[in-house]
A and B are shown apart, each in its own frame.
Chain A
């Protein structure tokens, strides 16, 4: 199959692994930012091909995981109101808020519908003019343009019963925040290829320069990741720290200008709280004045986020790369995909879910 199988070729992977072994002279700690990359690494065993000097930390790039619990509570509140329909991407439905998840709310009669595209939510609003249709718009820069498109389309079509509960997050401020944290361990980043497809990578250049860390824009297939790791290590070993683009078949330095324009029309940069991580300045998106009417928080009340309750779950430390999922005493015991303590255990891009799904052999047997 084109653009898939050739990036999973065993011989090429071995060659990259050998090349990596050939250049590494001392221990290095890298972080892949995106949860999609984490899942590929665990599923294909990319980390197993790396020499012991290289450790991969898993980053905060899981949009479901970093959405504050209070947003899920608000979504449940909206879906449980009279004459409303809450539309959401499916992956959000299993994420627990402070009082349960959207699946449970749905089973109690809340009007929750899974959509595959934000535009589907606008179509539902057009078909149900007597109901308030709210789209649970979460995601990083990859998803934000499509979500913005839904608002633009609704405005152009005069759909007044459509709004969005928006909880978008931006990657570069999160990387900056990780590097500013005391005791920061990450020496090089694999940036999320799809985020950069939209945004390009100019905004990463000052980060690489200021903190002296190489940043390699990286794709999602095993060979992409191996090549990204190689490029990152090459820089570290050479004492360089610049932005490089491994994912050149999809990413250009300036990204996708049309998508960015759509984003700018509907959203503006705002402060944001990340679940488990905390407040990160300029790391979120709020509505521009022209699209303020599409803000579900204006119609249904603002979401008040609180500090995350301290509990057994170490999702926050996992999202910051401070600890691995298997470091958690609850992993695979009191926390499973069926009964999660944290979102990282249920989301398709969550690191704990990846370990549970693909590494349960070792981790479970070791636990027993």
Chain B
């Protein structure tokens, strides 16, 4: 019979299960350090992160754009993207809309206890991939873990800093009467793709999200001297929300032409099926630009050089009245009001 020696008892490893995220991973101790050292840092590969300090030290001259966003998309993976690439692209796009070259991002991870480490790895790899694709660095971050059932897998919070490169202020206050409204590509893919993935609709032709970085085409517009008065990326609430916000802020009227708005056949079909207005459906890789009439054709030509801008089109113009409102001329030539969604987009019954 062997005699147990108390001093030989070995402590269990702080993280007995290496397959899933545990509460200990957010506890601030050894387990958290392990998660960051073994999973997060290798995925992000940035020297600033490797310094292991409380914050990143950055060297930026001149005016900056600074933005923050949170990502709670469900499901985490959807055709055309995932929560990681979405977080990077979404933040990069907000910076680009300010006329800034995106430089640095923070990534705050909020993880649900029980999330598989493999899922985390895949999301982090995709996060890094999106950052590399845009030339933005992931320089600081944070990790928290919450009890199982308190959230849905993982959330990501980001902040981003970019250097302003536009020669004049880009924003609703710069919109001028007679400006032309241009959309960078066909609308509605992201909203339909995520809804289809979440609800398990098997469309005959699967629709992939338009999730993509927009910094390159925006910087090209600026570099080529297009007088970009205002830029706005189309996210939740769709083209309608973006246009209404700008009309209200600028106090001018935006007149859209429904026939000119590019929408792919699959998104059209899905919208007909559910009773959605495509103008309300979410996007994650599209923007509208307000430019003077004389720059309009060249803007479209520049945007079309990029895969995300292949279907860029002139969709409307800025008019004087009705002030602060958006209208849309339909296929029969009758103009209707366009408003923001009232609440959530809900499918009709029949």
Contact = CB atoms under 8 A, between A and B. Distances in A.
A1 interface: yes
A103 B343 CA distance: 11
Given A9-B331, A10-B332, A361-B322, A91 B348 contact: yes
Interface in A342-367: 346, 348-349, 357-361, 365
Given A1-B268, A360-B339, A93 B346 contact: yes
Interface in A13-58: 13, 36, 42-46, 48-49
A82 interface: no
A348 B342 contact: no
A43 B330 contact: yes
B332 A116 contact: no
Given A143-B349, A348-B348, A45 B337 contact: no
Contact of B349 (A9, A43, A63): A63
A140 B349 CA distance: 10
Contacts, number: 96
Given A45-B334, A49-B334, A116-B199, A91 B347 contact: yes
Interface string B78-111: 0000000000000000000000000000000000
A362 to B, nearest CB: 8
Interface in A87-101: 89-94
Interface residues of A, number: 45
A336 B342 CA distance: 9
A199 B308 CA distance: 47
B348 A338 contact: no
A44 B334 contact: yes
B333 interface: yes
B275 interface: yes
B335 interface: yes
Contacts of A336: 342
Contacts of A140: 350
Given A1-B269, A94-B343, A360 B348 contact: no
B268 A64 contact: no
Interface in B281-333: 322, 325, 327, 330-333
Contacts of A48: 334
A338 B344 CA distance: 11
B349 A45 contact: no
A346 B330 CA distance: 23
Nearest to A17: B332
A261 to B, nearest CB: 19
Interface of A: 1, 4-5, 8-10, 13, 36, 42-46, 48-49, 63-64, 89-94, 103, 114, 116, 138-140, 142-143, 194, 222, 336-338, 346, 348-349, 357-361, 365
26 contacts: A1-B265, A1-B268, A1-B269, A4-B268, A4-B272, A42-B336, A44-B331, A44-B336, A45-B330, A45-B332, A46-B332, A89-B349, A90-B346, A91-B347, A93-B346, A114-B346, A116-B201, A116-B347, A139-B349, A142-B350, A222-B331, A337-B343, A358-B336, A359-B336, A360-B337, A361-B327
Given A44-B331, A49-B332, A360-B339, 18 more contacts: A1-B265, A4-B268, A4-B269, A4-B272, A44-B332, A45-B330, A45-B333, A45-B335, A64-B349, A90-B344, A116-B201, A139-B349, A140-B350, A338-B342, A338-B343, A348-B348, A359-B336, A361-B336
